């Protein structure tokens, strides 16, 4: 009788130990999936914020287009509007692909392969966005003077001497910082995907 009680107690005790391990494994997988989505969501949120700023700027330039009184300023305004519409389009395409990368319904190997391909595409599109940002900066400096200042700065050598180098240096460091931030978030997301298989 005591031996049966001891066996029952032993089975109950081992059952209690095994169940929390299964629950803990499922919980860890769920936590990793949530962390993965949060990493990707950080990138998506930053891209949506930047796209919103671009669209508002394009609307403002379009609304204030009548202030651009020379052919040069009008062409610059059209180029700026086109770039301000192109940048969010590229961002939308890149984040749409990236958000699909974490499809957990596929096998582990397929998920990692899709993520690696989408990660490379995202980085390539971001580099394209940065290149267009340099052209946009040039157009925006020319337009902002006219749209907000209203002054003719064509003769002001100091403005042109300092505005472009300072703006380009700022954009260079900002672009490097954003690239590093995105690379780090993508690396963490990839590590979380790898942890889901272990």
List, for residues 114-164, the tens digit of each pLDDT value.
Answer: 777 888 888 888 889 989 999 999 888 888 777 766 555 556 666 667 777
Residue pair 174/10 in contact (Cβ under 8 Å)? The answer is no
**Three-class secondary structure of residue 26 per DSSP:** helix
Q: What's the predicted TM-score (pTM) here?
A: 0.72
* Range of weakest confidence among 56-70, 71-85, 148-162: 148-162
Sign of dihedral through CA atoms 139, 144, 145, 150? positive
d(CA 153, CA 50): 29
Name the nearest CA neighbour of 62 among 50, 80, 48.
80
**Three-class secondary structure of residue 162 per DSSP:** helix
Range(s) of the domain holding residue 148: 2-197
Q: What is the pLDDT of residue 80?
A: 92
- Percent of the chain predicted with pLDDT > 70: 70
Sign of dihedral through CA atoms 89, 92, 93, 95? positive
List, for residues 21-37, the tens digit of each pLDDT value.
Answer: 455 556 656 666 777 77
d(CA 132, CA 62): 19
Helices (H) and strands (E) in the chain, counts: 4, 0
Mean predicted lDDT score pLDDT of the chain: 78
Name the nearest CA neighbour of 57 among 80, 26, 89.
80
| Residue 106 DSSP class | S
Q: Which residue has the higher pLDDT, 129 or 103?
A: 129
Crossing angle for the helix pair 108-144 and 71-100, to the nearest 10 degrees: 160
CA distances from 10 to 5, 16, 21, 79, 85 (A): 8, 10, 17, 77, 69
Structural domains of the chain, count: 1
């Amino acid at each position: 009788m005591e031996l049966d009680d001891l066996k029952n107690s032993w089975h109950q005790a081992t059952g209690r130990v095994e169940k929390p391990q299964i629950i803990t494994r499922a919980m860890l997988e769920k936590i990793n999936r949530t962390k993965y989505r949060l990493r990707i969501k950080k990138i998506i949120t930053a891209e949506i914020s930047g796209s919103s700023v671009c669209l508002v700027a394009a609307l403002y330039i379009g609304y204030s287009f009548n202030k651009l009184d020379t052919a040069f300023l009008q062409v610059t305004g059209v180029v700026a509007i086109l770039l301000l519409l192109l940048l969010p389009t590229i961002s939308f395409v890149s984040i749409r692909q990236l958000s699909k990368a974490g499809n957990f319904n596929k096998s582990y190997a397929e998920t990692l392969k899709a993520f690696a391909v989408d990660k490379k595409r995202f980085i390539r599109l971001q580099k394209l966005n940065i290149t267009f940002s340099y052209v946009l900066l040039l157009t925006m400096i020319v337009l902002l003077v006219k749209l907000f200042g209203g002054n003719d700065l064509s003769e002001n050598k100091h403005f042109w001497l300092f505005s472009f180098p300072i703006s380009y240096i700022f954009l260079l460091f900002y672009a490097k910082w954003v690239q590093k931030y995105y690379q780090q978030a993508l690396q963490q997301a990839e590590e979380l995907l790898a942890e889901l298989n272990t």
